[in-house]
Structure 1
Amino acid sequence: MPSTDEVAALIVGDIGESEVGRDVVVKMNDGFLSNIHETHTASIPLHYPLIFPYGEDGFREDIPISEIFRNMGSYKRWKVSMRQFISFRLQDRNSEYGNIIFAKRLFQQFVVDAYTMIEANRLSYIRFNEKTIRAYYLNGVAEAIEKGETDPSSVGKRIILPPSFTGGCRYMFNNCQNAMSICKKFGYPDLFITATCNSQWGEIQRYVRARNLRAEDRPDICVRVFKMKLDNLMSDLRKGTIFGPVDAGMYTVEFQKRGLPHTHILLWLKPRYKLIIGEDIDKFISAELPDPQLYPKLYKAVSSFMIHGPCGVIDPKCACMVDGKCSKHFPKKYQNCTTIDDDGFPIYKRRKTGITVAKKGVPLDNGFVVPYNPRLLMNYHGHIDVEYYNKSNAIKYLFKYINKGSDRVNVQISNVGNGESNQDEIKQYYDCRYLTPCEAAWRTFKFDIHERWPPVKRLSFHLPSEQCVTFNDDEDWEGVVQNVQLKILNS
């Protein structure tokens, strides 16, 4: 179970056509009650009087962006966005006492609450400013005309959440498709790496201890340090200093329910450096406890970060236990050498060396070691799981796994039927959304959650008469078909 002392949000969105923001009611000086929007200047100070004891102004929609800042990039905005304002307020400054950043659990609540406002404003803008556009295949529109349909709103799928919205279903689907195109170019990936933020990193601990705080009290510092570590890790991988030269790579950042960010990384090695046999895998991946006499620092790192359990018969209440068995299949069987089975799965070398490490008073041996790369582990001192991957039968599952987005379970009972035209993508995204302080800080600072190289250029293609056509609810159908056919002839 989660052991971190954190404040998170489970959003049960009720965004509808009449959604106008949060229902905030204040009593004015004249004694009358009034509704104010969440972007009102007094909204945030009234919510957090301990953080804003002097009633300082909160976010306003008319704050201009400085001319110097606009000249630094191709900014088309002339006003400060809510994300930029919140990001500005989360900074640690010597010129003022940090009421916000020293508020501990209240700071966690403020970060989560502020980002829910940012996201809600973005979704509201998309809902109320995007035209009522529908999409359908050209032959489907022609078929509807032949059937005598006169109402364009009766067919097609309403486009509500565009692919430009980070984290949306279309955004994640496009990332998955781009990853598959890289796979088509360079073949199956060779390595699957999972790196998790370590709240005990020296950079984090030195900062929070000097201020009498804990790591969970400053999620903004945790994500900043993890971002720097991740950038450095990807730089090392791209330079080929760890596993050799690489052709391509990608990563996606996700957030655990216990608050810490982690990333899934895929690497495509150059053909000359690919891992073919067990001896090649042993050069980079180990699943054994090192000799504490010969490698004391590495033994300490493996013991701290790369041991699973204890679980199974030793601890049947462990979180990984499902139906009396470890869902991760620990402890693993002993193996004298690394082999690759008929399905392409590696069986790592796990010898019975007699070297153990005590966890919760239980001695654990090589059967509980998570595969790791010694150099990565010593460089970054965190949980970095390195797995050999070259299995064609699970390639689609792998790309869907790392681009799946937030975990959720949705159940809806409706008598409307399965009509595609009634699908609300904003509601699907927003309902039951679990938001942690680290994710809120990461997204507020506008850090990337997905990166890949080389870049992918998306080119649309389709079968005859199956191109996607967009049209307004009040548009003439016959005109839509004629315009598309005219474009086809001109092209």
Structure 2
Amino acid sequence: MVMVIPYTEDEIMVFFVEKSSVMDNTSVVPYNKTLLKRYQAHINVEWCNQAGSIKYLFKYIYKGHDRASVCFVPINQENQNKENIDEIKDYYSCRYISACEASWRIFSYDIHYRTPSVVRLPFHLPGQQQVIYESFDDLDDILDKLSVASSMFSEWFKCNQNYPEARTLTYVEFPTKFVWKADKRYWKPRKKGFSFGRIHAVSPSLGEAYYLRILLNKVKGPTTFAQIRTVNSVEYPTFRDACYACGLSDDDNEYVEAIVEASFTGTGYYLRSLFCTLLMSESMSRPEFVWETTWIYLSGDILYKQRIALKHLGLELNEEQVKNLTLFEIESFY
């Protein structure tokens, strides 16, 4: 017995009663009322939000051409020894090309293409470029190779020295006017076509590499790492300081104000917990600046806790001792 009960404008509650079992909408194939009425056909509608569903839908696209396994088996005569059959030579992997694909290839149409062309631009900190070698290669021979110190990023410095036009471009804009020759490992002026450059993403947890990536989107024509860290003729010791001088990083004053405001009602334990949360979120560009500005609030109950722990109500601590104890308390949150 089937009972159909109107539920809403677009849904119908269907109950199947068979003997002692009752099934509701969870046992019905998903459908869409609008599509059923429009196309007058059975249409299964499902929401695919899993990786397995995507693989099922698109796996046939990446399986390549249709293939057929053909095995040629010789007829064994009565006086022929079966052990002499070479099964490897008797097996062939054949590809079947349909008439449509054969015509496409005959007329030399594009099988695949990429537009627009995008070049992935790697970068690295000084002396930290990747070196690829085989497991059996000698380490001394690897270090003596000229290609070890020749990366796409380091060759960008050399190209800025040799071409005045290159000094007007950032690292991201470089592929629009120059082409990277991977076989000879150098940049060459582009004669035709165009391409876009993209620097791979870097997590703020990597520190200096993160700030170097920020500068590479702004600095034009540097020939050394020192020039990347130079802002208004002042060379800064780190890339992070250079980002702050360029105004590319926040001054973290909003975090200082948040801790100061929380100190009006919050305890020292709560303030240290708040500071630890900011550290773990990696949202502060200069954590040491926030610490030096707010440590007096973060250590509000440190002296009291030490007096209670040591049972010495007249205990006095200097500034350095209070800071160290506060940092120890903050470290305990991790």
TM range (shorter): under 0.3
Q: Structure 2 length normalisation: TM-score? A: 0.21
Name which one, 1 or 2, has greater alpha-carbon Rg.
2
After TM superposition, the score normalised by the length of structure 1 is 0.16
With a CA cutoff of 8 Å and minimum separation of 6, indicate the structure with the bigger relative contact order: 1
